[in-house]
Amino acid sequence: MINSMTGYGGAEAEIAGVTYSVELKSVNNRYFKTVIKLPESAAFLEEDIEKLLRRSLLRGTISYSLRVKNAPVDVLFSIDEAALKSVVDKLSRIALSGDGTRRIDIAGLLGLPGIILPASPDKQLAGQIRQGVLRITHEAVDRLKQARAAEGAALAADLKGHCEIISRELEQISARNAGTLQEYHNRLKKKVDDLLADVKFKLDEETLAREVAVFAERSDISEELARLSFHLEEFVRACAGDSGAGRRLEFISQEMLREANTIASKACDNDITRRVVEIKCEIDRLKEQVQNIE
């Protein structure tokens, strides 16, 4: 079945005494795009997370956020004590050369570049963090996919309703089209007979047949109706098939609209024209909904 491109998934777990929380949100996009936000202490995981998301999802803008909760200070950052001591020593010498009233604000010095550094876990701890974060990322992805599948089912039901309306209109147009040629024949014959009645001249059947043949060739919509019916069947089949049908459905709906426009330009019957307008409205609704499909 088809999947939506919008959804949400989350998961969290305790890893090496620290709680890590993953949030995943996805919205529509013609292509695949990721926005990954990581704490500096876990920045080394970005490539692994990117690969996991690309393997699991096909389309959409995927916003990934990893948060750290209840973490001790040394897990989040470290202080370059040597750099801080060097700055303090220099400021102390400056203070001593004055009147002795100057004081050094250590807290203010922490904002200097290079004093506060992101904590870098050792190899063993980094391995634990990688394994744990990727595990909960898998869980979040599974929940995101479940949400997208549930919304996809609702989209499929909506698309099916529009397709059924198009199918009914096509049946009515096909039935109506079969009689339009004979109606044109009778209408043309009556009109010419009325015009020539005063001069007592009768239109010969050969000339009438030739005019009807020209009309039939110019207004024949049988091929367009057959192609539109075929595209409609393909659309329904794609909706019931495997996930990842979004782009295929976009293409099919464009072809359906092209055939409907051709039918509208060739049709010479008011009832057919009215029904084609209804079909085009339904196709526009299909095209709008297809933008949400993975």
Residue pLDDT tens, the chain, 294 long? 889 999 999 999 988 888 899 999 999 998 999 999 998 778 889 999 999 999 999 999 999 999 988 755 555 566 656 766 776 677 676 666 655 556 666 666 566 676 665 666 678 888 888 999 999 999 999 999 999 999 999 999 999 999 999 999 999 888 877 656 555 445 544 555 554 455 454 555 555 455 544 454 455 777 888 999 999 999 999 988 777 889 999 999 999 999 999 888 877 778 888 999 999 999 999 999 999 999
pTM value is 0.72
Say how far apart CA 148 and CA 9 lie, in whole Å.
10
Residues 6+ apart with CB under 8 A from 89: none
Q: Quick one: pLDDT at residue 99? A: 58
Top-tier CATH class for 7-74+121-150:
alpha beta
Say how far apart CA 24 and CA 10 lie, in whole Å.
6
Dihedrals φ, ψ of 60, to 5°? 115, 165
Q: Quick one: pLDDT at residue 114? A: 62
Say how far apart CA 197 and CA 174 lie, in whole Å.
36
Q: Quick one: pLDDT at residue 66? A: 94
Q: Quick one: pLDDT at residue 123? A: 82
Q: Quick one: pLDDT at residue 179? A: 56
Task: Specify the domain boundaries for CATH 3.30.230.10 within the chain.
Answer: 7-74+121-150
Under 8 Å between Cβ of 290 and 246: yes
Q: Quick one: pLDDT at residue 223? A: 82
Q: Quick one: pLDDT at residue 73? A: 52
Burial class of residue 84 (count of CB atoms within 10 Å of its CB; 0-12, 13-18, 19+): middle
Q: Quick one: pLDDT at residue 180? A: 60
Q: What is the helix (H) or strand (E) element at residue 37, kind and residue range? A: strand 32-37
Q: Quick one: pLDDT at residue 26? A: 96
